Structure 1
């Protein structure tokens, strides 16, 4: 027997091509009724395609994609059948529905979201909160100068306009160190400098605060060469003793965020010999004995007097001294040996300093 002419044995029926095709058809059929059952059959059909029939590789790949397609088509047809069944109830069911139907209440209108009030908040925080509430936002310069808003954290919301239907909010803002205008697009209401020259520090501070000027931004200075500049706390502590001798800017000037407000103060009480402001700051000494020129003038007069009287003095100046009241440590003094006290009550004496000139030193 010639082995090349011997016919190949017949395949079992479950390995034949028709049986595999029937299994693929079941994928679409069962998928129309149950997607889960169709999915299981699809897996079985895919295994059968790759194991049972002697197909070429490309045919097996095509049959695999065909199984996916058949399941999709079957599931779609099943959905359409279910939808058509729900859309076309029988006549009896329609009649029963009409008889048993109860009057339907009118639908409740949807609640319109109300925008919160964000005025006074930093622009970046206001926009973040509005976005969290489901609103879209926009912003512009409330001063009407059409300035670009770049760093939103440095701007403050003055006005807002909300559209609850469109769920949008428009913010009008100014820089954080600026006052809000009276209305959107209006001019900035900068405060004007009041007249405080001649007033005590307490009265001046009250007038400045009433005008809308921040006291923390005010620069203080003294008017005498031998008096230290007080801090704001020191000036407030003795507010009735410090007087405003000069001010900047002048009365009626607008005080913007870039304006430097300064007060030049002089201090005196009822027991002080000098109770008036000098004609110009940093030109005179509150205590005349602190003036270097005072020493030379006094020495000259004493020297002339001692010559006329025949008395002798090796230093050419008085050594008798005497108390001159409140003095500033380290300031020039005269005559040699004079005594005084500091503001804190420390006893001081007039004597030669490191530069050879008489200065107030602790005794």
Structure 2
């Protein structure tokens, strides 16, 4: 038998090329489940590549490199399977409880700021409160004049506009003694002076109040030289006896915060002979005898015939001592210390008034 013609004995199956390739494929499969087991199998595969098949060296080197690639691929597949396994309980949680882990971990949106109502407050306080709530502030004149705001504590908020996205509040304000306009940038609705000439003080006060004029800011004055100016309380007490003879300002004039409203009053009752206003203020005496320059020559004879030279009494003044009968409060009198009563029976005494001259005043 020729040894050169004798066929080579068959190689064992585990040393064949398909067997080695199968070991390499096993590396990728096991890597998907266990990285440690896959690493052991990869070492065995590299040994098999270099020992079992009769490959050339560069083929064996390429197979070794392929084993590392298969290890990486298997590990990647294993990571994906692990991640999928991690997500499955989340899905179950959504099915059971209706809440997902992803939704729970998402950031909660910031809550929008809500602006408080600052209308009617002093501007400086409104700005302070707004800034403490997280807003920036701006301010301007609410009136049409567009005036500069200097002393914020003296201005009052009429309108505000909040920008929640920009976290800013715009305030529109007017001076503290001014009324708010109907809209931002409108004219100030100042009250207008009504016509109260000829009305009683009671009726005049009612008309002024209805017009929006503060009675505390109204100044009272008398029209006769021999009548003392009443206080607001005294005029209100006898409101039907006091009459408005003159007014300032005229009817229809706007009454602003700087306007002085003046009512010039005269007083009379049904018992008075004179029940009309004088033609001009502070130009006449209600009772001529109260005039220091009054000539008594024409009255001397009447006084002598009626009283025999004794003391005389009138509705406003006295030239003798003691009681003089009915007098009018505030009118001039003499001598000092004389007494009398009003039409309502209030005791009066003649003593110096606020102007230093003797007037009938309550005792």
TM-score with structure 2 length normalisation?
0.62
2:297 aligns with 299
Cα distance in 2, alignment partners of residues 347 and 235 from structure 1: 18
The residue that corresponds to 1:122 in the other structure is 122
Alignment of 1:218-229 (within 5 A): 218-229=218-229
The correspondence for 1:319, drawn from 303, 310, 322, is 310
Alpha-carbon offset, residue 348 of structure 1:
5.3
Listed as ranges, the matches of 1:244-323 within 5 Å are 244-294=244-294, 296=295, 298-300=296-298, 302=300, 318-323=309-314
CA separation of 1:185 and 1:301: change in aligned 2, threshold 3 A: closer
Paired residues for 1:35-54 under 5 Å:
none
Q: Deviations over 1:45-78 (max 9, x none)?
A: xxxxxxxxxxxxxxxxxxxxxxxxxxxxxxxxxx
Query: Within 2, Cα distance between the matches of 1:111 and 1:144?
Result: 37
1:302-356 Cα deviation digits (max 9, x unpaired):
36998xx9xxxxxxx943424532145782559xxx9743688336589xxxx9x
1:95 to 77, 84, 88: 84
Alpha-carbon deviations, 1:199-237, whole Å to 9, x = none?
111111111111111111111101111111111111122
Give the whole-Å Cα distance in 1 for the aligned partners of 2:207 and 2:302: 54
Matches for 1:1-363 after TM superposition, within 5 Å: 90-91=79-80, 93-102=82-91, 103=94, 104=100, 105=103, 109-294=109-294, 296=295, 298-300=296-298, 302=300, 318-324=309-315, 325-327=326-328, 331-332=332-333, 340-341=340-341, 345-346=346-347
Q: Deviations over 1:138-193 (max 9, x none)?
A: 00111132211111000011111110111110001111111111111111111111
Q: Which consecutive residues of structure 1, in runs of 5 or more, have no partner in the other structure?
A: 1-88, 310-316
Larger of the two Rg values belongs to structure:
2
Number of equivalenced pairs: 258
- Paired with 1:98 and 1:152, the residues of 2 have a C-alpha distance of 61
Kept after mapping to 1: 8 A contact 2:219/2:261: yes
Compared CA separation, residues 319 and 329, structure 1 to 2 (3 A): farther
Find the residue that maps to 2:274 and give its secondary structure: coil
Aligned to 2:169, the other structure's residue is in SS state strand
* Secondary structure, aligned partner of 2:180: coil
Q: 1:197 to 1:177 in 2, by over 3 A?
A: same
Distance of aligned partners of 1:302 and 1:361 in 2 relative to their CA distance in 1, 3 Å threshold:
farther
1:5-44 alpha-carbon deviations (Å, 9 max, x no partner)? xxxxxxxxxxxxxxxxxxxxxxxxxxxxxxxxxxxxxxxx
Return the alpha-carbon distance in structure 2 between the equivalents of residues 305 and 252 of structure 1.
Answer: 50
* Counterpart position of 2:6: none
8 A Cα contact 2:269 2:275, kept in partner: yes
Is the 8 Å Cα contact of residues 218 and 261 (structure 2) preserved in structure 1?
A: yes
